[in-house]
Amino acid sequence: MEMIDRYIYAVTQHLPENIREDVSKELRSNIQDMLPEDASDDQIKEVLEELGNPVKLAIEYNPERRYLIGPSIYNQYITLLKLVTGITALTLGGIAIFTWLFNFADAQKPATVVANIISAIFEGALQGAFWVTLVFVIMERSGVHEGHSPFTKKKWTLKDLPDIPDYGKKKISRVSTTAEMLFTVIVTVVFIFRPGIIGVSLNGSQFVPILNADRLSTYIIGIVLLGVLSLGILVWKTIYPYWSIPLAAANAGFNIATAILMLFMVRDRHMVNGEFLKLLENLTNLTLSQVTLIWQRGLWLFAAVFIVIAICDSIAGVFKCKR
């Protein structure tokens, strides 16, 4: 009976929550009708193999036929599409308003300001939709969401039935996943599209960006790849909200890649805007070289703290798999 329970669980996990219980009862009844009394394990295996891949069977039970993204992950796709699209739209829209309020650009007519804000919101929505769809298309084509090794297209067998999980402390909070997604999207959007808003303005003086936007653009490919990788891991956590060895390995790999990119950026002395360093020089009794040295040491300290946190997070992910 355990095998039947696992099979039913595998089917219903790919269905909307409001119909899972009814489908579970109906499917269990159908399986029992196909089996003789006191069925052996071999007879149960034969019936379940005849029913086939639970993912494909779930499609038949789902009353809503949706094929933009595979039916087995469509519900998760729509949920994350709404979330990420909303976050990116609000982020870029908020940045446009922030830019206008603090006069980072020349004075503009009200109609132009409104048009810029609407354009930024629309751009954010498109960017969010594109990246979420890209991640889900990769998952669909690779077969990862079905528990397969990527791109193997392995034929389904009973060995692929998942165990009915007892998450315990392995379970990943949906709140924490949403918070991570919010942070990831905002940071990625700011670094890619509006790094100039990271800066200071003292006593109503001209706003001075901290980062050198031209120099930052040389790292843009790495930032984009890390953003996509982070989004992919967060999608993974949403579909399978519990820690596993593959997830922990992916999380550790992401932390390592982020730390490496950060080290390259920190050691790049041209990453900081020269005007910002001159501003610090004017605010202190130090020379420009002294200000630069102190700032550089501060960045290295920040990088060291980040790496320690990344290591702890990676180790914690592995330990959570064993609980």
- Over the stretch 43-70, which tens digit does the pLDDT of each residue have? 888 888 888 888 888 877 876 655 557 6
- Shared domain for 265 and 218, answered yes or no, is yes
Q: Flag whether 131 is in a domain.
A: yes
Q: Flag whether 66 is in a domain.
A: no
Q: Flag whether 162 is in a domain.
A: no
The pLDDT assigned to 203 comes to 64
Q: Flag whether 198 is in a domain.
A: yes
Cβ-based neighbour number of residue 61 at 10 Å: 17
The long-range contacts involving 134-140, CB below 8 angstroms and separated by at least 24 positions, are: 134/228, 135/228, 135/231, 135/232, 135/235, 136/69, 136/73, 136/77, 136/80, 136/235, 137/69, 138/232, 139/73, 139/232, 139/235, 140/69, 140/70, 140/73
- Shared domain for 14 and 147, answered yes or no, is no
* pLDDT tens track for 84-142: 898 888 888 888 887 776 665 455 667 777 888 888 888 888 888 888 888 888 777 66
* pLDDT tens track for 188-221: 888 988 888 888 877 656 778 899 999 999 999 9
Mean pLDDT across the stretch 166-174?
A: 73
- Shared domain for 30 and 136, answered yes or no, is no
Query: Which residues span the domain enclosing 53?
Result: 2-61
> What is the average pLDDT score of the chain?
83
Question: For 67-85, b where at least 16 C-beta lie within 10 A, e where not — what string?
Answer: eebbbbbbbbbeebbebbb
- Shared domain for 51 and 106, answered yes or no, is no
Q: Flag whether 86 is in a domain.
A: yes
- Shared domain for 17 and 96, answered yes or no, is no
Quote the CA–CA distance of 1 and 230 in Å, as a whole number: 39
The number of domains in the chain is: 2
The pLDDT assigned to 306 comes to 93
Q: What pLDDT band is residue 151 in, cutting at 50, 70 and 90?
A: very low
The pLDDT assigned to 103 comes to 60
The pLDDT assigned to 149 comes to 46
> How many whole angstroms from its chain centre is CA 140?
16
- Shared domain for 197 and 269, answered yes or no, is yes
- Shared domain for 218 and 289, answered yes or no, is yes
| Token pair recorded at residue 212 | 């050198």
- Shared domain for 137 and 30, answered yes or no, is no
- Shared domain for 32 and 94, answered yes or no, is no
Q: Flag whether 68 is in a domain.
A: no
Coil, helix or strand at residue 209: strand
- Shared domain for 31 and 91, answered yes or no, is no
- Shared domain for 295 and 253, answered yes or no, is yes
Q: Flag whether 177 is in a domain.
A: yes
Q: Flag whether 69 is in a domain.
A: no
- Shared domain for 215 and 108, answered yes or no, is yes
